[in-house]
Amino acid sequence: MQSALVFGQPDGKASRTIHIIEDAVTRPMSDEVSVEWLAAPINPLDLIVVAGKYPTKPKYCINGEFIAGFDGVARVLTCGDEVESLKPGDLVVPNTLGLGTWRTRAVLKAEDLLGIPTITDVTVAALLKSAILPAYFLVEDMRTLKPGDWIIQNAGTGAISQLVVQIAHLRGVRVISVVRDREFMKSPALQDADIVLRESELPAIDTLKGKRIVLGLDSVFGTSAAKLADCISNHGTFVNYGQLSGGGPSASMALSHRLLFFDRLTFRSFRGSEQVAARSKEELGDLCAWLAQKIEQGILRRPEVDVLAWNPNEEEFKRKVCDALDRAQDGTAIGSRKTVFRIRADEI
């Protein structure tokens, strides 16, 4: 049997529609594998899917209800006769959207999974696609960076932001993390940042004077984005990769003529899927192997996240799931800790 978090009718408030269900697990066909999910995060994309506002729908259902969750890490249990790319015991992450990761077991097409090297901490492994790879792409792909350069980013306590700091330091690049005024400045999530500033302090001319801030990473948009752009050095690059402030497609940010004409900033958008598509499967595999090595060596560390143990038979678990969904969906949750379902209790 498998237990899963499913939803029927789309709802803008995920906790109203997500619920737990149990169902039998089928045997894999010749091109499929049977897996057990080990851990899976709650990402903003998951909530957009539950709200019915994302074009890609979940691929799997139980009794006509969609299985939620687009990201996570699983272990292969058995393989169909024609599967050659995977074997029992392999760790895998989704290689496509909509696999329904918020569940204990699944039978999936082998081609829809990407094998990854062993990562002992499955909570970290579950963040590979949704946090670790995006952080790497933001540092590596958005602009050529040199030792001594600086990055400035908002939502400084978010999982991606924490990983941006760690990966940037591997390149000799330093990072300024910006947080909202009400956030705790000595949060463990900020311990690696070279400078931590509150939004109200920006543009912090005295603090930032003389620093070569060549890249700004914005996941909030709106007023926060405008303040971030004001801190970037001439010929720098501003990248937006999210909209935690809300507002939808009609939201806007103030953009002065100085930034475009005199400072000559470059403005870019970021989609992790495009950066993945720009790499061959072999290149992506090599990258995952390199990142896994850094994780196992302790060079890249787990970001500060909340871990929720999977125990669907307890009423307390159901309440905690609703609380985690509400917290993730709260419009004031910018920079809040990501929740990861720990579906299996054992390490690899």
Give the residue among 145, 167, 140, 142 at the shortest CA–CA distance from 213: 145
Share of the chain above pLDDT 90, in %: 85
Tally Cβ neighbours within 10 Å of residue 36: 16
pLDDT at 185 over 80: no
Q: pLDDT tens, 270-321?
A: 999 899 999 998 899 899 999 999 999 999 999 999 999 999 988 899 999 9
Neighbours of 54 (CB within 10 A): 17
For residues 21-35, give the mean pLDDT.
Answer: 95
Q: Which among 65, 69, 67, 70 has a CA at the least distance from the CA of 9?
A: 65
Q: Nearest Cα to 158, choosing from 72, 54, 68, 241?
A: 241
Note whether 122 and 342 are within 8 A (CB).
yes
Dump pLDDT digits (tens) for 206-253: 999 999 999 999 999 999 999 999 999 999 999 999 888 877 788 899
Residue 21 exposure: Cα atoms within 13 Å on the Cβ side? 18
199-208: pLDDT as tens digits? 999 998 899 9
Q: Identify the pLDDT of residue 186.
A: 78
Dump pLDDT digits (tens) for 91-150. Answer: 999 999 999 999 999 999 999 999 999 999 999 999 999 999 999 999 999 999 999 999
Quick one: pLDDT at residue 331? 53
Catalytic residue list contains 54: yes
Catalytic-labelled residue, pool 54, 60, 136, 241: 54
Task: Please tell me which residue, 84 or 186, carries the higher pLDDT value.
Answer: 84
The mean per-residue pLDDT over the stretch 339-348 comes to 82
Mean confidence (pLDDT) of the chain:
93
CB atoms within 10 A of CB 132: 28
Beta bridge partners, 34, equal: 78, 107
Residue bearing the bigger pLDDT, 336 or 48: 48
Rounded CA gap, 96 and 335, in Å? 27
- Among 60-69, 145-154, 250-259, which stretch is predicted with the lowest mean pLDDT? 250-259
Residue type, 115: G
Per-residue confidence (pLDDT) for residue 29, from 0 to 100: 97
pLDDT tier at 347 (50, 70, 90 boundaries)?
Answer: low
Beta bridge partners of 66: 7, 61
Q: What is the mean pLDDT of residues 191-197?
A: 95
What pLDDT, on the 0 to 100 scale, is given for residue 181? 84
Whole-number percent of the chain with pLDDT over 70: 97
Residue carrying structure tokens 């950066």: 275
Name residue, tokens 């995060």: 41
What does the pLDDT read at residue 239?
Answer: 98
pLDDT in tens, 167-181: 999 999 999 999 988
